[in-house]
Structure 1
Amino acid sequence: MRNGPRIIVNSDVLAPAAMALLEARGAEVRMLPTRASEAEMIAAVSEAPTHAILVRTTQITPAVYDAAPDLRVVSKHGVGYDNIDVAAASARGIAVLRTHGANARSVAELALGMMLSVLRYMVPFDTALRQGTWPQSAFMGHELSGSKLGIVGCGAVGSSLVALCRPFDLEIRIYDPYLLPDAIPEGVGRVSVLDELLGWADIVTLHCPLTDETDRMIDAAALAHMRKGTFLVNAGRGPLVDDVALVAALESGHLAGAALDTFIVEPPDPDHPLWKQKNVVFTPHIGGSTRQSLERVAVQAVENIFYVLDGKPPLAKCVVG
């Protein structure tokens, strides 16, 4: 007999360690697919009194809150919370928490791998070899070592990337207007204007949340500030980059290449002109999707729920709003 809270889990598979925590607390768990619709979420929370939602991608809107009058906490399985209406939650006294830092290492490792891949033209070389050619001189690669790396957003992921890049002897500068001075990694320069960073770097990598301020922050004007031959990596949120402007910058040769783990629309349009660009590395929003990371994130997401339900203060860095 279940005597714990009813929790909606918006995930196809939740790490066994996290499921064990829910079982130990006697939670009544209602599983929804990762890509469940808002309507499916509303139907699920309406079936019975619901106390918590552990969400990955489904939109959590005022209509969801209104269908769940007993809801006390929304816990994000991840860091980005642009699919959650935080203001509406706060107005109803519902806590919103995220798993800050739990997947930072995995995302940073992917960003580093993408940088190496795009600088050495691994995708077009791979494609050419599969087509039966031996194109050793088709592209001239770039060394990561000694390059100028510009990091936009130096929170948990950005600072993890700095640590991973130490052996490459990079010159690193960051743009993050919200970073406290004592949180700047040692040996890293800081600029106060984004365009300054864009005009300086050989490689620009994005690791900031999606907000009104950052939406399409890399637009045609920003891309124009980047020097010819620069590389762009986006392992943050798709809408940070204006994809139409990005295509234009790639087709003109202004950008030497790009690497994208996130897209404005996910899954992206298969007919989008981005797919025609040769020196672009694509991955399907899997920055945090390693076995180790998914377990850390799932466990922290469950722990966040019980911090709230038990009346304990959650970690401040996990609280949204």
Structure 2
Amino acid sequence: MSFTVVTLGSQIANEGVALLRDAGASLVATEAFPSKDEMIAVLDRHRPDAVMVRLVPRLDEDVMRAAPTLKVIAKHGVGCDDIDVAAARRLGIPVMIATGCNAQSVAEHALAMMLALVKDLERQTALMRSGRFDKSLYRGRELRGMRLGLVGLGQIGRSFAAMAAAIGMVIEAYDPFAPDAAFVPPIARATDLDALLARADVVSLHCPLTETTRGLLGAREIGLIRPGAWLINTARGEVIDEAALAAALRSGAIAGAGIDSFAAEPPPADHPFLHLPNVIATPHVAGVTDDAKREVSLQTARNVLSVISGGAPDPRYLAR
């Protein structure tokens, strides 16, 4: 079997590349964040059977139509906000995602951010570097007994909950789309987002970006988070009103935040999250540890092969 796969937004990890080549694939990859015209040109030139999506501004219907032989779109990850899934559906092209492959890495990143914030590590490092060795300036707290409020209870949220439970945190989650079976002890179901925000010592976002969740935490919702609490976002930047959160962080209404994703990426140099002392910021890397990249690349390749070989797409990996 011979077929062509174009990766938009840089090549996947070597393990996934090898799997596809062994199956007979010819591989083509663009640089990160190709323009719409560049994507159309490369698809028109190579007429791929499959497209793998990594770092792109948006894969819309115009781009898809540039590849009339396209049989499958495989996202290198889970979030599909950069793919017009409805357009792909109209064109009869399944969109596959690498469900669960980076859940452990993202959950560990959220845990690391929570520990760094609550243990005052960023500020203590800055004090040490300035020559201050003063234990009286430490503001660390114990996580044991604190309330963790999860917004979204997919695989990442459940993994993070297990880690937090081992520390001794009290956990509740808000996810109106999760089945009751997901809420197993020690995770309690919160039926009201406002109440969860008001009760939590740490709020951690783990929801996908959809039209329902875009702007989910606006100025009103951020105002409900109690003073002294921390906010962690390893989901999508657009879930939060960034200006409202920056204002709350400046005023001290919120103790601090861990931010791994931004509404615009890369963020501008003057973005407030990059300059506030009570913010830990990372460049959307929670799900791209070496381990996660390997697993995501392999599952992305498997998703391509499952369709190219003529089989029915596995519903666990179909974007909805």
- TM-score, normalization: structure 1? 0.96
Worse overlay, 109-118 or 223-232: 223-232
Alignment match, 1:207: 206
- Displacement of 1:9 in angstroms is 1.4
Alignment match, 1:229: 228
Alignment match, 2:302: 303
1:99-248 equivalences under 5 Å are 99-248=98-247
Alignment match, 1:280: 279
Worse overlay, 131-140 or 285-294: 131-140
Q: What one-letter code is carried by the residue in structure 2 that aligns with 1:282? A: A
- Displacement of 1:133 in angstroms is 2.4
The yes-or-no answer on 1:312 pairing with 2:311 is yes
Aligned mates of 1:85, 1:11 — CA distance in 2 = 16
- Identity of matched residues, %: 38
- Displacement of 1:13 in angstroms is 4.3
Q: What one-letter code is carried by the residue in structure 2 that aligns with 1:169? A: G
Aligned mates of 2:204, 2:134 — CA distance in 1 = 28
Alignment match, 2:49: 51
- Displacement of 1:85 in angstroms is 0.3
Equivalent pair of 1:125/1:135 in contact (CA under 8 Å): no
Aligned mates of 1:299, 1:41 — CA distance in 2 = 23
- Displacement of 1:274 in angstroms is 2.3
Alignment match, 1:256: 255
- Displacement of 1:163 in angstroms is 1.5
Paired residue secondary structure (1:255) = coil
Deviations 1:18-53 (A, max 9, x none): 111111111111011232222221111010321111
Aligned mates of 1:54, 1:282 — CA distance in 2 = 28
Equivalent pair of 1:159/1:185 in contact (CA under 8 Å): no
Equivalent pair of 2:165/2:186 in contact (CA under 8 Å): no
Equivalent pair of 1:162/1:185 in contact (CA under 8 Å): no
User: Taking structure 1 as reference, are residues 32 and 185 closer, same or farther at Cα in structure 2, changes over 3 Å only?
Assistant: farther
Deviations 1:52-109 (A, max 9, x none): 1111121211111121111111100001010000011000001101001000000000
User: Taking structure 1 as reference, are residues 185 and 314 closer, same or farther at Cα in structure 2, changes over 3 Å only?
Assistant: farther
Deviations 1:172-205 (A, max 9, x none): 0000000011122322110111101101110000
Worse overlay, 85-94 or 141-150: 141-150
Aligned mates of 1:194, 1:19 — CA distance in 2 = 42
Equivalent pair of 2:20/2:305 in contact (CA under 8 Å): no
User: Taking structure 1 as reference, are residues 91 and 13 closer, same or farther at Cα in structure 2, changes over 3 Å only?
Assistant: closer
Aligned residues: 319
